[in-house]
Structure 1
C-alpha cells in the first residue's frame, strides 16, 4: 500500500476496528499479562519462546515463523496430556491474544491461593451462548451458517464473527473459531479453540475482540486489502509548550546565574586579583574623598603641633 520511500510508511496510526488491525510483528501485548511467569527461549524448533505458569500447567508458545503464531494450552499436571488448546494465526492482533492470557493469569493466581485445580481447567458450559456473550452484548447478530450443525455470530460491519460447531466431536476437536477480515492468507485473522476449552476463557478472548478501543500500528502494517475497511487516525505528536517572554527579573537572575557559573569554571588569575585589588584601593580612596574630612585634618594638625617651628 505504501512505496518503500513513502515518508508516511512508518507513521503510527490508530486503527479501528481493532480486529482488522492485524499483527504488529511482535507478541508483546499477548505476553504482557504473564510477563512475571518463567520464559524459556528455544534455539531449535519452530517454537521460539515458551512462557509457562510456575508449575508448567499452562503453556504459551510463540511460533514466530509459522502460520499458527500462538499455541496456548493447559493440562492438569505439567507432564500430563493437554486438556485444551487455543491457536491464533499470524494475522490475529496480539491485543486479542491478551484477552486470553489475561484471563489465564487471573485464573492461575486465584488457583494458587484458593483452588489447586484452577478455573482454567473447568468444564465448558453446556450452553454455547455463554462463550460468545460479550459479542451478543456488543450487538453482534446471528448469521447464516455455512455448514449444518453450526452457529455463526457476525459483527455489525460483517467483517468479523465466530463459528460454533455444535456437532458431536471428540475432546480435542476444534469447535469454536473467532475470525476477522476478508478470506486470505494475509487478511483473515483466526483464533481456534478445542472442545474442552472453558467457556469463560473463550468469552474473555471474544470480549477483547469486541473492544471498541483502537490500537496503534504503523501504516505499512495494514494490509492493502483491509485498508478500505478500517479507520486510520494519525497519532498526534505531543504539542510543544510555547515559552513565555522573560521578565526583567528573569533577565537579571539569568545574568547572575551565568556569572556565578563562569566564576566557578574559570578561576581568577594573579593578574585578575591585582586588578581587583587596584579597584578596591580606588574605591576606598573615592570613599574617603566623598566622606568626612576629619581624619585627614586631624592627622595634619597633629603633625604640625608636634613639629617645632624653625626660627628665622
Structure 2
C-alpha cells in the first residue's frame, strides 16, 4: 500500500528532545524493575515502582489530576517526606525519563550517600558551568536565572528565592525548571532544591541529549518540527514489505474479462491512474 500523508511512517528524529512522547513508556520503569524494585498499580492503571527499602520511588500517573505524568523522589525514611522530587510532564519523550531512571538505579545500588544529599544544599554551580562550557548562554530577559541552549530550544530556569521544602515536595514550586521545545510544543521537567548535584548533572545531560529516536509521524506532524530538526524516513519493515507484496500478488491474480464482453461506449474514459507515493520528508 502506498504511503499517503494520512498514514504514519517511521522516521529517525534528531535531536530527540523535540520528538513527541508517542513511544513505549515501559523502558523507564523496566530500568528500576531490573534493579529489583517492586511494581504496583492502582485501580486507575497508574503505575508505582518502589525501591526495596522504600526510600525511593517512581510514579507514572497518566490518570492523574494534571499533566505531570512522571514523579520520582527519594528520602531518608519510608514514612517521612522525600528529600527531593523530579517530575516530567506528559509531552516528555520517554527516552529522557529512561536515562534518568537508569542513573537513579545505579546511584541506589551504591547506597544512600549516592542518591541523597548528605552535604550542603547544592546550588547547581557545577552543572551550570558545564552548560556554559558547552555553548549555553545566560538569558537576561527572564525573571529567573536562565540558561539557554545553543539552538534556543532548551531553557533551564533557576529560582533564587527561598522555597519551602513542603511546597517543592507537593509540586507547587521547583528550584529547577527545564522548558524544552519550540513555543507551540513545549514540555517540562522539574527538580527540587535537594537533588544531589550529580543527579542534577545527569538530568541536564539527558534533557539536552541530541541522540536520535524513532517515531511514527504524519506529514502534518513533520511540518511542525523546528528548522534545526532532522527527520530521516526509515526503510519499511519486512512485515510491511510482505504486506505490499501480498496485496500486489492478489491484484495480479484477479482474472480480467475477455475483450468481447466489454461494453463499448464513446463516452467511457479509462480510470485515473493512482497517485504516486508521497516521498518521506527529510529536513
TM-score using structure 1 length: 0.64
Tell me what 1:50 maps to.
Answer: 48
Q: What is the deviation of 1:134?
A: 4.7
**Does the Cα contact within 8 Å between 2:127 and 2:201 map onto a contact in 1?**
yes
Q: Distance in 2 between matches of 1:142 and 1:60?
A: 32
From 118, 139, 144, the equivalent of 2:135 is 139
Matched, 1:128 2:124: yes
Q: Between Structure 1 and Structure 2, whose CA radius of gyration is higher?
A: 1
Greater mean deviation of Cα atoms: 60-69 or 7-16: 7-16
Instruction: Please state whether the residue corresponding to 2:107 is helix, strand or coil.
Output: helix
Report if aligned partners of 2:5, 2:218 keep a CA contact under 8 Å in 1: no
Q: Distance in 1 between matches of 2:215 and 2:157?
A: 27
Distance in 1 (alpha carbons) for counterparts of 2:31 and 2:103 = 9
Retained in 2: the 8 A contact 1:124–1:197?
no
Is residue 165 of structure 1 aligned with residue 159 of structure 2? yes
Change (3 A) 1:10 1:238: closer
Q: For residue 243 of structure 1, what is the aligned residue in structure 2?
A: none
Query: How far is the alpha carbon of 1:145 from its aligned partner?
Result: 4.2
Q: Contact 1:68 / 1:90 at 8 angstroms: preserved in 2?
A: yes
Change (3 A) 1:58 1:160: same
d(CA) in 2 for partners of 1:74, 1:182: 32
Q: Closer, same or farther in 2 for the Cα pair 1:216/1:100, shift >3 Å?
A: same
Are 2:147 and 1:153 aligned? yes
Structure (1 or 2) with the greater helix fraction:
1
Answer whether contact 1:15 1:232 (CA < 8 A) is retained: yes
1:193 aligns with 2:191: yes
CA contact (8 A) 1:8 1:219 kept: no
Alignment CA distance shift 1:167-1:77 (3 Å): same
Distance 1:196 1:146 in 2: 24
2:63 counterpart of 1:68: no
In structure 1, runs of 5+ residues without a counterpart are 112-116, 240-312
**What whole-Å deviation, never above 9, does each CA across 1:201-245 have from its counterpart, x for those lacking one?**
121011112222111111149856742442101123589xxxxxx
C-alpha distance in structure 2 between counterparts of 1:55 and 1:181, whole Å: 37
Aligned: 1:41 with 2:40? yes
Q: Which has the higher contact order (CA 8 A, sep 6+)?
A: 2
In structure 2, C-alpha distance between the alignment counterparts of 1:225 and 1:125, rounded to whole Å: 44
The answer on whether the counterparts of 1:74 and 1:84 sit within 8 Å (CA) in structure 2 is yes
Using the alignment, how far apart are the partners of 2:142 and 2:237 within structure 1? Answer: 48
Unaligned runs of 5+ in 2: 239-283
Structure 1 residues 8 and 23, CA, compared in 2 at 3 Å: closer, same or farther? same
SS in 2 for 1:82: coil
Q: CA deviation at 1:9?
A: 3.3
- Tell me, in whole angstroms, the C-alpha distance in 1 between the residues paired with 2:96 and 2:130: 13
Which residue of the partner structure matches residue 102 of structure 2? Answer: 102
Partner residue in 1 for 2:231: 232
CA RMSD, aligned part only?
2.7
C-alpha distance in 2 between matches for 1:191 and 1:124:
23
Residue 113 of structure 2 corresponds to: 118
